[in-house]
Amino acid sequence: MANKTQEVGDIHFPFPFTPYSIQKDFMAELYQVLESGKIGIFESPTGTGKSLSLICGALSWLRDFEQKKRQEEARVLETETVPLSGGKDQPSFLSSSCQETPDTPRPVGEPDWVTQFVQKKEERDLVDRLKEEKIRRKKREERLQQIRHDTQLKYAAKRERQEEEETERLLRLSREVLAAGTGAELLEQLASGEEELVLSEYESDEEKGTANGLDEDEDDLEEEHVTKIYYCSRTHSQLTQFVHEVQKSPFGKDTRLVSLGSRQNLCVNEVVKNLGSVQLINDRCMEMQRSKHESKSRAEDKEPKRRRREPRGVCPFYNYKQLQLLRDEVLVEVKDIEQLVTLGKEARACPYYGSRFAIPAAQLVVLPYQMLLHAATRQAAGIRLQGQVVIIDEAHNLIDTITSIHSAEVSGSQLCQAHSQLLQYMERYRKRLKARNLMYIRQILYVLEKLVTVLGGNIKQNPNTQSLSQTGTELKTINDFLFQSQIDNINLFKVQRYCEKSMISRKLFGFTERYGAVLAPGKEQPKLAGFQHFLQSLQPGVAEAPAAPVEEEATVPRPASPLMQIEGFLAALTTANKDGRVILSRQGSLSQSSLKLLLLNPAVPFAQVVKECRAVVIAGGTMQPVSDFREQLLACTGVEAERVVEFSCGHVIPPDNILPLIICSGPSNQQLEFTYLKRELPQMMDEIGRILCNLCNVVPGGVVCFFPSYEYQRQVHAHWDKSGLLARLAVRKKIFQEPKRANQVEQVLMEYSRCIKCCAQVGGMVTGALLLSVVGGKMSEGINFSDDLGRCVVMVGMPYPNIRSPELQEKMAYLDQTLPQTPGQPSPGKALVENLCMKAVNQSIGRAIRHQKDFASIVLLDQRYARPPALAKLPAWIRDRVEVKATFGPAFATLRKFHHKKSGHS
């Protein structure tokens, strides 16, 4: 398909085909948002080519931005003068990579000659920096060009790496032979391999100064960050799909794109990857890097210290030359995560670090939005947002994601486990631990004990058998909670830093792995036998049994240390008092009780993104209602209303390809209002069944019916089974139910799809399938029910969240206190509940109509949909075409006519 450059105004947008008019509008609006440094909320329904509009619009802007920057740089370098700050001509992009500009304020009363001298010096410095940047850019372009045309470079480096590995293997064998001859000593009566479990001497950042953790080789890999676009989406599959769209776009050959992911997705070291848990993989990887730096520093010491132990093995995939090669290979051609991993295995280089080192020179960085929205993760990945562009796609649940990332929960069982493990660890290695380590361990033990006490339990007893005298849920401000639990005198910031730097949870995991599951033979067994029994007793619902062989356990993902989970909770407790609440949930036993830190103000972590970035784009297929984004995220972040731009476009399908209906009563004139009190009445469940029986008689292919919850879906299904309605439905459609377990979803979808295709080919009484799904479940997001898979989508009732939930009540109260009340409008707290409901509805009904020639009916079963608050929050392309039917007869006639006409033409 030939590329077709589109001109909108005086801007050229390369596009792989002739775009829809709404795509032209989308790209033009996006270009202006990026150019003027604004925040855009973009809504473009699924099937309208949103991804391509984002790619071609954003990369067209970046192309023009880079061109202007180079022209201005060339002019500055030619004349060696910079426009003064007093003039309006100084372009913003000149200083985008240089933090110091001639705009620096001068002290009042400073002599003119001093001011002129300083300005001249700053101009010279800027010119020098531009020269350096130009040299670096030229080197990078030459290097990438060479790799493009010389594939032998890759194989030469690969051969060199194999030779190095063979040399290392021979040296290791030599050392082993020598060691066997002299007799290796067991150091200080510790068992073999146990030395690595002991904590190193700890120095805080204040004592030793903050090191950047990079050696000289890694410094060489880092470049100046060019202006770039960070594209984020929710899932790994959505990111892969986006990268494939870039590959097919006119920008696919020339864009330097980097795909980022977690170590779990990118690690190619099988030993590390087999640890299973994300936290364990991260910790083992970091420990290997630390070993690399420790062994390097020991080698450079003129007076080497007496070696107490062999260093932990360094990762063979973390090698400067190989990482340099991989970084350049990543930049040469657009690759998704799978292609990156394959390349890493071939080059014997780590894709996680290789992609990270490619970030500075990349033009487009693709990453999961959890990685961008969490400051510590962002920093660890080497992401710098200053002056950059961020596009957050699939952003309908952005607020929930930010809240979830920055909230944390721990159970009574985890607190008791961590306390027992840490106490045993301290007793075992007390003589080997330095005073500072012991001090912090005692502080952590104290905190754990107090957290158990505040739940009403006793740290010294089995949490499974401890029943609590007081049950129920209690909410506290963070300060009140710290005071009540008597840990307000502990500096949690220092404890958090200690846990991070010392990697104590990783050491503790190794210790419990060694002595908790498989006891090492020898004199320590009697001493630690009680520890093993106690650990086993803490596992809920697991009887004591002989330890399984290590080989069999290796196939099961290992659970992370409970201390890792608790570290997250302690970090969350450092949230500002007004922005969070602690929920104490006391259940029947201590093990089932929990503490949860709930973030109330998602604007706090999002503020840094908005403040640092040049422009932010929040995009999605169904963004209505957008008031949540404006009020909870942007207004609370301090963004002026003028800086926010909203763009919403219609659908590309013809108007007669969609039939949205609101049905207010059923076939037996039963009023449809599925409130919490009415929906479980037998007559209401019967009415749903009758409506579906009628629909299944006239709708071909697949019907997807969404219920407000799994429990209600189960109740209705059981009622239909007893009443015989299920058998009546099965005459026309084979019935499938959404499974609760995620690993069964794919199987159900395949069988559902196969059934519909088979019925279409064979004919007969059964015309397709009926899929009973749940709003907010596995089928309501990210699943495409295109064409025959979703000819009709039915919504049973309005899926309001549980108003009695303590978390929701606290969030509502917080918004009522924080946001202004608009006269004539519901309170901010009540508006939140309505918005959550309608967001869920919009996501579910968006599963149908996936492309321009698709058609479907959308049936909303509840008279409350016809009221203005709900109607106004439907997507515009549905709202403009919706028909409200007070009775079922006319609604059914309209449906039958629509599907008869469409099926006849399809």
Q: In this predicted model, what pLDDT tens digit does every residue of 317-343 receive, in sequence order?
A: 888 888 888 888 888 889 888 999 998
Q: What gap in Å lies between CA 450 and CA 445, rounded to an integer?
A: 9
pLDDT of residue 822: 81
Q: What gap in Å lies between CA 106 and CA 676, rounded to an integer?
A: 66
Q: What average pLDDT does this structure show over 143-157?
A: 60
Q: What gap in Å lies between CA 267 and CA 263, rounded to an integer?
A: 5
pLDDT of residue 61: 94
Residues 698 and 617 in one domain: no
In this model, does residue 48 exceed pLDDT 60?
yes
- Asked which of 106-110, 593-597, 819-823, 843-847 is least confident by mean pLDDT, the reply is 106-110
In this model, does residue 216 exceed pLDDT 70?
no
Identify the domain boundary among 622, 648, 674: 648
pLDDT band of 552, cuts 50, 70, 90: very low
Q: What average pLDDT does this structure show over 712-735?
A: 92
The average confidence (pLDDT) of the chain is 79
Q: Which run of H or of E encompasses 230?
A: strand 229-233
Residues 724 and 767 in one domain: yes
Residues 691 and 618 in one domain: no
Q: What gap in Å lies between CA 113 and CA 213, rounded to an integer?
A: 43
Q: What gap in Å lies between CA 579 and CA 477, rounded to an integer?
A: 9
- Asked which of 382-396, 437-451, 452-466, 686-700 is least confident by mean pLDDT, the reply is 452-466
Cβ atoms 596, 409 nearer than 8 A? yes
Residues 502 and 642 in one domain: no
Q: What gap in Å lies between CA 659 and CA 655, rounded to an integer?
A: 9
In this model, does residue 232 exceed pLDDT 90?
yes
- Asked which of 107-111, 201-205, 419-423 is least confident by mean pLDDT, the reply is 107-111
pLDDT of residue 193: 60
Place of tokens 């690759």: 335
Integer-rounded Cα Rg, in Å, for the chain is: 31
Instruction: Indicate which CATH number applies to the domain containing 769.
Output: 3.40.50.300
pLDDT of residue 903: 79
Q: What gap in Å lies between CA 30 and CA 50, rounded to an integer?
A: 11
What DSSP assignment string belongs to 463-475? TTT-B-SS-EEEE
As to burial, measured by CB atoms within 10 angstroms (0-12 exposed, 13-18 middle, 19+ buried), residue 117 is: exposed
Place of tokens 């009775």: 887
Strand boundaries in 485-586, DSSP class E = 580-586
φ, ψ (nearest 5 deg) of residue 848: -95, 175
In this model, does residue 298 exceed pLDDT 90?
no
Nearest-5° Cα angle at 46, 43 to 50 = 60
Q: Which residues contact 369 (CB under 8 A, 6 or more apart)?
A: 232, 233, 234, 392, 395, 398, 401
| Amino acid occupying residue 763 | G
Residue 367 lies in a domain: no
Strand boundaries in 600-722, DSSP class E = 615-620, 644-648, 658-663, 701-707
- Asked which of 128-132, 401-405, 608-612, 731-735 is least confident by mean pLDDT, the reply is 128-132
φ, ψ (nearest 5 deg) of residue 207: -80, -35
Strand partners, 586: 472
pLDDT of residue 283: 77
CA distances from 5 to 26, 49, 51, 538 (A): 15, 16, 17, 65
Cβ atoms 366, 394 nearer than 8 A? no
Residues 594 and 631 in one domain: no
pLDDT of residue 653: 81
Residue 809 DSSP code? H
pLDDT of residue 529: 45
Residue 223 lies in a domain: no
Q: What average pLDDT does this structure show over 478-500?
A: 89
Residues 595 and 620 in one domain: no
Q: What gap in Å lies between CA 374 and CA 368, rounded to an integer?
A: 11
Tell me the HSE value of 99 on the side-chain side, using a 13 A CA sphere: 5
Residues 632 and 765 in one domain: no
> Nearest CA to 354 among 208, 157, 188, 540?
157
Residue 242 lies in a domain: no
In this model, does residue 383 exceed pLDDT 80?
yes
Q: What average pLDDT does this structure show over 68-92?
A: 62
Strands 11-15 and 229-233, how do they pair?
unpaired
Residue 840 lies in a domain: no
pLDDT band of 314, cuts 50, 70, 90: confident
Place of tokens 């990697």: 503
Cβ atoms 586, 468 nearer than 8 A? yes
When divided into structural domains, the chain yields a total of 3
In this model, does residue 192 exceed pLDDT 70?
no
Residues 868 and 731 in one domain: yes
Domain housing 62: 30-75+613-648
Residue 550 lies in a domain: no
- Asked which of 199-203, 598-602, 639-643 is least confident by mean pLDDT, the reply is 199-203
Place of tokens 């295109």: 786
Place of tokens 């990270």: 356
Cβ atoms 583, 803 nearer than 8 A? no
Instruction: Indicate which CATH number applies to the domain containing 447.
Output: 1.10.275
Residues 444 and 566 in one domain: yes
Q: What gap in Å lies between CA 27 and CA 85, rounded to an integer?
A: 33
Residue 45 lies in a domain: yes
Q: What gap in Å lies between CA 863 and CA 840, rounded to an integer?
A: 17
Q: What average pLDDT does this structure show over 822-836?
A: 87
Q: What gap in Å lies between CA 317 and CA 270, rounded to an integer?
A: 11
Residues 416 and 473 in one domain: yes
Residue 572 lies in a domain: yes
Tokens of 297: 């520093």
Cβ atoms 590, 413 nearer than 8 A? yes
Please report which residue ranges of 92-111 form alpha helices under DSSP H.
Answer: none
pLDDT of residue 524: 38
Q: Which residues contact 39 (CB under 8 A, 6 or more apart)?
A: 33, 610, 615, 616, 617, 618, 634, 639, 643, 644, 645
Residues 766 and 788 in one domain: yes
Residue 854 lies in a domain: yes
Please report which residue ranges of 456-524 form alpha helices under DSSP H.
Answer: 478-484, 492-502, 504-512
pLDDT of residue 161: 60
In this model, does residue 755 exceed pLDDT 70?
yes
Q: What gap in Å lies between CA 87 and CA 260, rounded to an integer?
A: 41
Q: Which run of H or of E encompasses 139?
A: helix 112-149
> Nearest CA to 204 among 505, 502, 446?
502
- Asked which of 307-316, 339-348, 643-652 is least confident by mean pLDDT, the reply is 307-316
In this model, does residue 886 exceed pLDDT 90?
yes
Residues 581 and 706 in one domain: no
Cα 406–chain centre separation: 12
Tokens of 325: 């090669």
Crossing angle of the two packed helices 435-455 and 504-512, in degrees rounded to 10: 80
% of the chain at pLDDT higher than 70: 76
- Asked which of 188-192, 494-498, 781-785, 875-879 is least confident by mean pLDDT, the reply is 188-192
Q: Which run of H or of E encompasses 812?
A: helix 806-818
Whether omega before 625 lies within 30 degrees of 0, making that bond cis, reads yes
